[in-house]
Structure 1
């Protein structure tokens, strides 16, 4: 799968960062979020069958792989490069395009999918999630909404983001989503890091002044109790 990552660096050193990415690839994300997402794909069918799913089933003591965030559409990566990640200090926008095998890609649901699993109103959220993530998402969402236990709803989302059928459907989505922290995107993924230099397709410095953010078509709040 071809993915695109939007970054921002100081303009005084952007050329050095671009050359570093071309030479060394992409390393794992850093920042305020601790990226604790274990690799559940080998056990996903078994976990899905469990009627007494527990946190210890999903979050074991096994080491979690590092991840790097990206989007399926370049236009979504432009949002992160030109708006979300850009600041007075990091004022040069960069889009990195790379290739990753689908088995090493999961959905980044932190800004949209997790809030909808936790607080979704099923009659509104079911058709919307099926449009954005494919019908396979409902085998997790319906179970999440059948319980009032927030921790269990999160566990079902932990499973959903790693389902290859859901990942493939989300990669084709063109509906512009409005997520938490005012994020704007049609797809959000995580790929296993590091992304090796041989898998980097392009590293482009782009002009933020040429970017226009798309209109949000589906805010996450409209699918939750917060939109009532």
Structure 2
């Protein structure tokens, strides 16, 4: 290893980009030394980033991750996969904080917007905590989905929730948008995900993870069943 490979770092001012990089998109930083021709790369991930009190952040770049014509396989391994299994894993990981929040709230609601006269009819979902009227805009998801019922939205975006109607749209309504409001709770997928996440964070042995799962089931899983459409 040459002396100029010993230590490299990059820094920037944090304006929410670290959270974005960790939960909403993939970012890779590339450093190039035009004098030596050395080019290094590193994934921008929360556990690799050091955030400073002054709003700046820094990232130490692994000195042996050279960017060359032979780097393709390693780069592809580091990027998000697009197969269905990986997409489901990624979506659950992106929703981790929201999944963790649901059992901590007394009541949780999901409102789904349906555009009545559009072929691609479902276009937005948003969570409310405590009251269905108090939507949290930070939880809003905008999408385009053609479906026969709101159940398709839960199957696609929120497979970790059990749901039942809190308020159905007025069948006599003449508006362009119908609002489907559901009362929701974690289902076994959500509860199991929290137990596994607890294991990832704490490194608890399997027996402790099993106890954690049992505790979650006793505490949070109440008889609310998802309805079929």
Report the TM range for the smaller structure's normalisation: under 0.3
Structure having the higher helix fraction is: 1
Structure having the higher strand fraction is: 2
Larger radius of gyration: 2
Return the structure number with greater relative CO, CA threshold 8 A, min gap 6.
1
TM-score (norm: length of structure 1) = 0.25
